[in-house]
Structure 1
Amino acid sequence: MIPLQMLALRWHWPVLHVAPLWFHSLLLRLFDVRVIERGNPPGTAATLVVANHVSWLDIPVIGSLHPLSFIAKSEIEGWPVIGLFARLQRSVFIDRQRKKATAEVNDALAHRLVKGEVIVLFAEGTTGDGNRLLPFRSSLVGAAQAALMHDSVDQVFLQPLAIAYTRRDGLPVTRRERPFIAWYGDMELAPHLKFFLEGHPLDVTVTWGEPIPFNGNRKEATAAAEAAVRNALKAA
C-alpha cells in the first residue's frame, strides 16, 4: 500500500484518507486484535481528539476506526519503518526541545482542524503501564484556541477517547498483565512484538466520549477531557 499512499499524498487523491484504514485493519487482524467501539466518533465539526496512551498498538487501533492523523514527537519521524508509516499517516511532528515548537505545531494543527480534519493528541505526553492515567498536558490543546481565531470556524470541540485493553484469550486482563501489553519506559520493541505474535487474541475497548465545546480556556477543557477519559477507563 505504500506506493499508493505516496501517490495519493502527492496528488491529493481521496484514497489518502482510506488507505490507512485498510492498513491498520489488516495489521490488527495479523495480531489477532479485536476492537470494541463505544460511543460516537467525531463528526464534521473541527475536532481535536484527546486520548490516553498505552502502547504502539494504540495507533492501529484508533487508525482502523476513522480517517484521522496523529501528533507525534519529532524523534519518531527518523525511526526506520515506523517513521515512514507516521509520515504516510500525515502525522504532525513536534520537537519538544524547542520552546517555539508548540506554538508552531498549534498553528499547523489549527489549519488542519479548520479544514475538518480529525487530529489525535495523546495528552499524557508519553505511554503509561495501562494501570493508571497520567496527568493530561494542556499545551497542545492551544491548537483548538488557534482554530477558533479563523473566521470560518464557529466552534471547536475536544473529544475524549479512552483506550482499554480488556481481555486476552477471552479472559479479563489483570492488573499484573497490563504492563506486558503496554509499551512504555525503555522497553525494547522487538521482544514486545513477540508477545503479540504468540497468537493470543486480545480485545481492546475504545470509548468515544461526548464532544466538549472549547470555550477558550485550555486548562479547563483539558481537565474536563481527562475526567471523561478516566471515567470511561473505569467503566471499561
Structure 2
Amino acid sequence: MATARAAVLLAGFILSAVILMPLQWFGLKFGLTYARSLPNRYHRFLCRLVGIRVTVRGEPYRGGACLITANHTSWLDIPVIASLAPCSFVAKSEVAGWPFFGTLAKLQQTVFVERERRTRTVHSRNEIHTRIAAGDRLVLFPEGTSSDGNRVLPFKSALMSVAQLAIVNGEEDREDNLVVQPLSVAYVKLNGIPMGRYFRPFFAWYGDMELFPHLWEAFSLGPIEVIAEFHEPVTIREIGNRKALAAYCEARCQEGLVRALHGRADEPQVALAAPQEIRPLAAGA
C-alpha cells in the first residue's frame, strides 16, 4: 500500500506540474495577472494531494510589501508556505540548475542567490529589495540550509541587509521601513499521531540526502500535520541593525518551533485557502 500510495502521489505531482508549467510560462511571458496566483493555487492543490494539513497561527502581515523569514526543514516547506498566500522564494543559485525543480522555481519567480560569492551579495540584495518594493512577498530561509526539523539553525544576517534599504513609493522615500515577518514551520503529526524524532527525518530533507529517494519515502507515508506560525513583524528601524534583526527572527522561529513540537501552539487559529484570505486547509479536502 505504501508503494502504491507513493507511486500515485508522485505521478499526480509530476503530471499536474507538467500540465500547468506551460500555462504559467505563458502568463509570465505576457504579464497576465493569473501568473501571480497560479502557484499559490497549485501548492494548495499539492498539499491536498500529498495529505498535508496546515494549521496557521498568528496573523500574516497585510499592510503591503513584506520579507518573510522562515526556518527551513524540507522541500515540503515550499508547498506549505506557498499555499498560504501568493509569494516567491529566495534560493541558492544551484537550485536553478536542478532538473524539473529548477524550472518550477523559475516559474514561481524565485530570486537565486550566489551565497559563496560575496561580490554578488549586493546584487542579490538589490534584486530582493526591488521585488519587495514592487509589492512582492518574498520568503527567505536565513539558515542557509535545511535542518532536521527539531531545532532552528543560526540565522545568517548577510541578506538581512536588504531591510536597511528604503522603499520608494512615488516621491515618498520611507527609509528603513521594509517590514520583516518571521514564520516558523513545524512538522508535528503523522497519521494523527505526534511525529517525534524518529519519523521527522522522513520529511526533513537535510545533509546529504538524495532528493528523489526522499521524495518517494515521504510520499509513501500517511497524511502529515504542519503548524505554520506568523510572528510579530518588525522593521530594522525598530530592531536596530541587521544582526539584531537576524537574532530576533531566529528567536521567534525557535520559540514557534518549540511550542508546536511540544503541543503548546494554542493561539487562535487563522484560515488558509483563497489567495486573498487564509482559512484552515483539511487534508484530502
TM-score range, shorter chain: over 0.9
Deviation of 1:197 after TM superposition, in Å, equals 2.1
Q: Contact (CA 8 Å) 1:128, 1:134: kept in 2 or not?
A: yes
How far apart, in 1, do the equivalents of 2:25 and 2:216 lie? Answer: 29
Q: Percent identical across equivalent pairs?
A: 44
Deviation of 1:30 after TM superposition, in Å, equals 1.9
Q: Contact (CA 8 Å) 2:69, 2:249: kept in 1 or not?
A: yes
Aligned residue in 1 for 2:91: 72
Aligned residue in 2 for 1:120: 139
Q: Encode CA deviations 1:158-215: one digit per residue, 9 max, x unaligned.
A: 1000000000010001122222220001101122112222240100110011101221
Aligned residue in 2 for 1:228: 252
How far apart, in 2, do the equivalents of 1:223 and 1:149 lie? Answer: 26
Which of structures 1 and 2 has the bigger CA Rg? 2
Deviation of 1:140 after TM superposition, in Å, equals 0.5
One-letter code aligned to 2:159: L
Q: SS of the residue aligned with 1:103?
A: helix
Gaps of 5+ in 1: none
How far apart, in 1, do the equivalents of 2:163 and 2:32 lie? Answer: 27
How far apart, in 2, do the equivalents of 1:128 and 1:214 lie? Answer: 26
Q: Which residue, 37, 49, 56 being the options, matches 1:18? A: 37
One-letter code aligned to 1:235: R
Q: Contact (CA 8 Å) 2:67, 2:137: kept in 1 or not?
A: yes
Q: Contact (CA 8 Å) 1:54, 1:182: kept in 2 or not?
A: yes
One-letter code aligned to 1:120: V
One-letter code aligned to 2:181: Q
Deviation of 1:153 after TM superposition, in Å, equals 5.0
Q: Contact (CA 8 Å) 2:163, 2:235: kept in 1 or not?
A: no
How far apart, in 2, do the equivalents of 1:104 and 1:60 lie? Answer: 27
Aligned residue in 2 for 1:133: 152
How far apart, in 1, do the equivalents of 2:92 and 2:116 lie? Answer: 10
Aligned residue in 1 for 2:49: 30
How far apart, in 2, do the equivalents of 1:170 and 1:117 lie? Answer: 35
Q: Contact (CA 8 Å) 1:212, 1:225: kept in 2 or not?
A: no
Q: Encode CA deviations 1:101-128: one digit per residue, 9 max, x unaligned.
A: 1110000111111112111000100000
Aligned residue in 1 for 2:3: none
Verify: 1:40 aligned to 2:59, yes or no. yes
How far apart, in 1, do the equivalents of 2:64 and 2:247 lie? Answer: 21
Verify: 1:200 aligned to 2:219, yes or no. no
Q: Encode CA deviations 1:134-155: one digit per residue, 9 max, x unaligned.
A: 0000100111112457764522
Aligned residue in 2 for 1:209: 231
The alignment yields a C-alpha RMSD, in angstroms, of: 1.5
Deviation of 1:10 after TM superposition, in Å, equals 1.1
Alpha-carbon distance change, 152 to 74 in structure 1, aligned in 2, over 3 angstroms: farther
Task: Give matches, 1:133-212, under 5 Å.
Answer: 133-148=152-167, 152-154=172-174, 155-212=177-234
Task: Give matches, 1:44-63, under 5 Å.
Answer: 44-63=63-82
Q: SS of the residue aligned with 1:128?
A: coil
How far apart, in 2, do the equivalents of 1:84 and 1:19 lie? Answer: 15
